[in-house]
Structure 1
Amino acid sequence: MSDVTLGTSLNRTLGLARFNWLLMVRNRTTMLYAFVMPLVPLGLLFASGGDDPDPTSGAATIGTALFMALLFPGYYNVLSMFVSRRDEMVLKRLRTGEIRDLELVASMALPGAAITLAVAVLTVPIAWASGLDLPLNPILLLVAVLLSIVTFAAFAVWTAAWTKTAESAQLTSGPVLLLALAGLMGAALPESWQRWFDLLPGAAVLDLTRIAWFAQDAQDGLDGTAGELSFLETWSHAAPSLGVLVAWTAVAVLLAVRSLRWEPRS
């Protein structure tokens, strides 16, 4: 693809993304889910800040905030937007012109992705003001967030395949939301169950947050001590969780591509 073609494609995608952003911010319910839900854990983190904050608790709170951003603006908003545009035949009409399929999907995912990245950036000053350390490996944290954004945007397109209306998305999104949130509860389960829950995307995001931000390995996360990993060691310790997240990204994208529908079922 030439530079001119790539630039034109990018301009079309950003133009559609700006339009989708405007529609999103005009919907009060969507904005409530998109902004308030991710900020609740961060508010609790700031309110509980003290002279000697617990890194394990901080990692769980920050991971939960990131996950709320991934689930609501990053997943649910894309799902409802895709279904409503499809049922109104907007997507079908747009595809008759020069707009490519990838541009359409990306333009719907970008507003949620922007909010998720904004939440990720906002966690840094809030965590620092709460007495927690700054992220040791922000590159690893960014990689985890970007992979998660792609994963849940793809899951949204997949879920849209069997979602008849935007209103029914409240029900059809349940399995993905349950799958995602179950990974956050693995630490509270018996050890024999934890290894299975560690394979879920929520557990991978939480582990990568703990390793990238607080340099905690598995044992640090259990006993509540501060991590002692170096910058390079965080990459090796993060490899299993990063592999789990990459696998979920690949599965989600494959499901989205195979089930993509641009118009309502007849």
Structure 2
Amino acid sequence: MSTTTPRTEPTAPAAPATDAAGGSGRGAGVRRVRGLARANATLMTRNRLTLLYAVVLPVLPLVLLLTGPRGDVAVGAATVVTALMMTLLFPVYYNLLSQFVTRRDELVLKRLRTGETRDAEILVALALPGLVVAVTVSLVTVVVALALGAPAPVNPVLYAGAVLLGALMSVALAYWTAAWTRNAEAAQMTSLPVILLLVVGQVAVGFPDSVQRWTDWTPGAALTALVRIGWFGLDDGSTTPSLDLAATWSVGLQPVLVLGLWTAVGLDLARRSLRWEPQR
């Protein structure tokens, strides 16, 4: 496995003592992250294809609520799960992967690291636009679904947990994938394993029990289960709500742990293998 490229020493003057003590340094770091995130968001909106992937595709599944039977729990669950998957795959995972690889190839990241900007600030700033889109689309999904007859979430905390944990996991997997992606064009191929892990878990609801025992450990299955449990009170592959608020906590523990495990593994792999300069 590749090792992390050594950090180039800053050429700027030494920071004042207040930065080292964490006084003005934290505020400066926040300003740097905010400025970089704003620049990344601007670049995303200027690219029509990226904007289509990031904003339009995630909300398209909501059309199913307009065409399907009003108030149908099965249709509502499938629609919300699909919208969440599209949100995590495109504005968070794939957009972040392609942006990081492109800026690495253009030596933008290398130049940023020679200044005052810390590695963590660069990584957070790159991920922020996609995370904001993911949270916004998830909130829009709630409003639209309720307006079109879907039931109110049984356990809103579990649904919010699915969004936040899924977004953090997607960021971790994007940076890990970037470690072995040579260029932006190659991202179309290197992203396929992660996309498969998310998609196969979503459709695994209809698989036999012998297959589901394995697919339950995929991030897609965990996300699907959390949405079905937390919002609709659905257990396993049922189409009839059977879980009350208290029951959702115990049933939802396993998918939460699965998502947490995938997030921890992704962050560790990204930390140990991330490349900051192009592969020659």
Equivalents in 1 of 2:242, 2:148: separation in Å? 18
The match for 1:149 is: 167
1:42 Cα shift?
0.9
SS of 1:139's partner is helix
Deviation at 1:157, TM superposition (A): 1.0
Matches within 5 A, 1:154-165: 154-165=172-183
Is residue 2:208 matched to residue 1:190?
A: yes
Asked whether the equivalents of residues 56 and 210 of structure 1 are also in contact (C-alpha less than 8 Å), the reply is no
Give 1:3 deviation, angstroms: 5.2
One-letter amino acid of the structure 1 residue matched with residue 220 of structure 2: G
Give 5+ residue unaligned stretches, structure 1. none
Match of 2:262 among 243, 248, 252: 248
Structure 1 residue 84 corresponds to structure 2 residue 102: yes
2:247 to 227, 233, 242: 233
The answer as to 2:185 corresponding to 1:167 is yes
2:121 aligns to what? Answer: 103
Deviations 1:37-66 (A, max 9, x none): 21111111233252xx22233112101101
Provide the alpha-carbon RMSD of the alignment.
1.5
Residue from 232, 241, 244 that aligns with 1:214: 232
In the alignment, the residues of structure 1 paired with residue 119 and residue 247 of structure 2 have an alpha-carbon distance, to the nearest angstrom, of 40
Distance 1:59 1:195 in 2: 21
Question: Which residue type is aligned with residue 196 of structure 2?
Answer: L
Q: Does 1:17 align with 2:32?
A: no
SS in 1 for 2:43: helix
- Larger gyration radius, structure 1 or structure 2: 2
Contact 2:222-2:255 within 8 A present in 1 as well: yes
- Cα offset, 1:71, TM superposition: 0.3
Deviation at 1:252, TM superposition (A): 0.7
Q: Distance in 2 between matches of 1:141 and 1:6?
A: 32
Bigger shift: residues 139-148 or 12-21: 139-148
CA distance, structure 2, for counterparts of residue 137 and residue 99 of structure 1 = 40
Separation in 1, partners of 2:200, 2:229: 20
Distance 1:15 1:34 in 2: 20
Q: Which moved more, 1:41-50 or 1:11-20?
A: 41-50
State the Cα distance separating 1:137 from its structure 2 match: 2.1
Q: How far 1:8 sits from its partner (Å)? A: 2.1
Unmatched 5+ stretches in structure 2: 1-20
Mapped partners of 2:273, 2:121: distance in 1: 17
Question: Do 2:64 and 2:75's aligned partners in 1 also have CA atoms closer than 8 Å?
Answer: no
How far apart in 1 are the matches of 2:83 and 2:36?
Answer: 28
Report if the CA contact (8 A) 1:128-1:134 is conserved.
Answer: yes
Q: How does 1:118-129 map to 2 (within 5 A)?
A: 118-129=136-147
Matched, 1:29 2:45: no
2:58 equivalent in structure 1:
38
SS class of match (1:42): helix
The question of 1:133 aligning with 2:151 is answered yes
1:233 Cα offset (Å)? 3.0
> Relative to 1, partners in 2 of residues 1:64 and 1:127: Cα closer, same or farther, differing over 3 Å?
same
Distance (whole Å) between structure 2 residues aligned to residue 138 and residue 16 of structure 1: 32
Match of residue 75 from structure 2 = 57
Give the percent of matched residue pairs that are identical in Structure 1 and Structure 2: 50
1: CA distance, partners of 2:83 / 2:22:
40
CA distance in 2, matches of 1:78, 1:188: 31
TM-score relative to the length of structure 1: 0.93
Q: Distance in 2 between matches of 1:138 and 1:12?
A: 33
More helix by share: 1
* Matched residue SS, 1:94: helix
Q: Deviations over 1:48-94 (max 9, x none)?
A: 252xx222331121011011010011100001000010001100110
Amino acid at match of 2:52: L
Which of 196, 205, 211 in structure 2 is aligned with 1:178?
196
Q: Residue 225 of structure 1: SS of its match in structure 2?
A: coil
Quote the offset at 1:216 in angstroms.
Answer: 2.3
